[in-house]
Amino acid sequence: MSDQSESSARPAASAASPDPSGLSRRGVLRAAAAAGALGIPLGAAIAGASPAAAAPGIVPSAAPGLPAGLVPYLSPYVNWAGEITHSGLWACAPRTGQDLADLANWARANGWRLRARGKSHNWSPLTITPSTGHDAKVLLLDTTKHLTAMALTTPPAGAPGAVRAQAGVTLETLMAFLAGHGLGVTNTPAPGELTLGGTLAIDAHGTSVPADGESARPGHTYGSLSNLVLSLTAVVWDAGQDAYVVKTFRRGTDEECEALATHLGRGLIVEAEIQAGEDIPLRCQSRVDLTADELFAAPGSALAARGNTFADFMAESGRVEAIWFAFTDRPWLKVWSLSPRRPLTSRRVYAPYNYPFSDLIPTPVARLAGLLIGGSWFLAPALGAAQYTVAATGLTATLAKDLWGPSHTLQFYLRPTTLRETANGYGILTRRADVQRVVSEFAGYYRQQLADWAEAGRFPINGQVEIRVSGLDQPGDSAAPGARPPLLSVARPHPDHPDYDCVVWVDVLTQPTSPGAHEFYRELERFLMSTFDGTYALARVEWSKGWGYTDTAAWADQQIIESAVPASFGAGQWAEAVSILDRLDPHRVFGNAFTDRLVR
């Protein structure tokens, strides 16, 4: 392999140990806390430090001679939580699809690997691995500089609209463009600054299932954004030309489209055509008065009979999220509902990010986070209480408990300036009738685990739990005749469980340097895999988050990576996806040491 200096497993390191790339994880987190206290975006705080100064004595390798017209430059890499950093890799900003093909041929001839980098909003090592050397032959491709064009296209029968967009456009820009034409989508992630290419690589999702009595709407899906793909233009190997070329694949006609629609970094997308439906405004109501006991009550219990469970709200609106701060007993519950007309009690909004108290880290939270990172991990309960208090008071102070507006203005609510935490992530496939059982069993185990560790004087979790539910990537949602679900989407229906019709998404967040966090996550992962083993529910890992834990590292458990993950999709589907991706990139130009282990 051309990047043999990389390794998917990393050794245990103390919270104070510097990252070999020169940007320490603790330094990134301290920057986050300080930036929050001053109201400064984290990216600006990190950018203020010179990569060369952060890595004294390291001399970058000579600049590569790229194809004509492409200029290499050194660029630091910092992922969302600062767990994967590099003081400077060679990068360039391709302008066209042909530039990307030329780069692929150059990389193959010179032993380099290409990694598309959009906004680096990712936790897992799908772009670069933690141990990427300072002189690794890895070229970052910044798609956000030039590959951002978009235009409406003629939609196929069954979809009110369609758009062709290049991989570097952000979701916020794309959804605003669609909204300007009366179009929208049902599911998006909370951060609007993600690129389209990045969201398709890891089947990004939102939270929605049909409310009771709600009919499916043409052009929409309750599954992931990957299920909206109509065609994909990508750089792929052409054996007849003995070269990488730009080629377009159509959903329902070309099997390559189903493999590339969620490719985990094993492909290189130039642009995508996606379908869209009529945009209907949303209403978002927030509550902070319900206890976790009631919201996550076991089905059939006295508490569940009160009618305030997670599943009750899901039945009423179809769109629910619970944010449960560590060591608190009242989650922040968001409930979205279709609302063509503004309710009298709702405040009209015109733009995304309507929770300013979470957009910028409030001073009390920033100070507590700084103390935790400095070693006072026992303050985790105080941080959880502070985060809850900020949310509860902020919702009232900013009149944000009841909002109404175009769908994208309420779907995007997370800015890059929020407190950056690490997160594990799992999608649990189940029947809609069993959602409350899944949520209740997860919540019960997590709360007991948190209490047991605290009793032992250990506080590995100081963030929040996030729980959402979406539909699966049903092929019937696609307007492309003959469409199949994306092969590697976590929301792909399982061939052995046709009764599963939705997926419960669970994430547990904490500061990356929290002592014992990997061990805690490993225990939780084992619980999820053993409890939701395909009887009434089936756990899959969420590609962009943390998973595959040992006691000291994420993405390091060989059994999870090489056995449990493929098995959760079904042997036939996994093998088909790997075969297609290998055929499209037989020289593994698009990949790294981690994807070499995973997509095999």
What is the rounded CA–CA span in Å between residue 484 and residue 481?
9
Q: Of 6, 273, 321, 525, which is the active-site residue?
A: 321
258, 294, 466, 525: which one is catalytic?
A: 466
Tokens coding 226: 């990957």
DSSP assignments along 110-134, one per residue: HT-EEEEESS---SSTTSS-TT--T
Query: For residue 398, what are the CA distances in angstroms to 335, 355, 403, 418, 446?
Result: 18, 8, 11, 17, 32
φ, ψ at 5 (rounded to 5°) = -70, -10
Length of the chain: 600
For the chain, the straight-line distance linking the first and the last C-alpha, in angstroms and rounded, comes to 14
Is 121 one of the annotated active-site residues of the chain? Answer: yes
How many Cβ atoms sit within 10 Å of the Cβ of residue 7? 19
Instruction: Give the DSSP letter string of 285-306.
Output: EEE--S-HHHHTPPTTSTTGGG
Give the residue from 335, 343, 355, 337 showing the smallest Cα distance to 395.
Answer: 355
Could you give the CA distance from residue 464 to residue 177 in angstroms, rounded to a whole number?
Answer: 33
Q: Name the active-site residue from 25, 121, 205, 319.
A: 121
What is the rounded (10 degree) CA torsion for 36, 38, 40, 45?
-90
For 244, the token pair is 């990488």
For residue 469, the cross-strand partners are: 504
Tell me how far apart the alpha carbons of residues 360 and 419 are, in angstroms, rounded to a whole number: 8
Q: What are phi and psi of 461, to 5 degrees?
A: -115, 125
Q: Kindly list the distances between the CA atom of residue 122 and the CA atoms of 43, 87, 199, 225, 479, in Å, as whole numbers in the listed order.
A: 14, 17, 10, 16, 30
321 catalytic residue (yes or no)? yes
Q: What is the DSSP string of 251-287?
A: TTT-HHHHHHTT-TTSS-EEEEEEEEEE---EEEEEE
On whether the CB atoms of residues 405 and 350 are closer than 8 A, the answer is yes
347 and 328 in contact (C-beta within 8 Å)? no
State yes or no: is 468 an active-site residue: yes
Of the residues 468, 492, 522, 540, which is catalytic? Answer: 468
DSSP letter string, 169-219: SBHHHHHHHHHTTTEE-S---SBTT-BHHHHHHTT----B-PPTTPPP-TT
Q: Catalytic residue positions? A: 121, 321, 466, 468
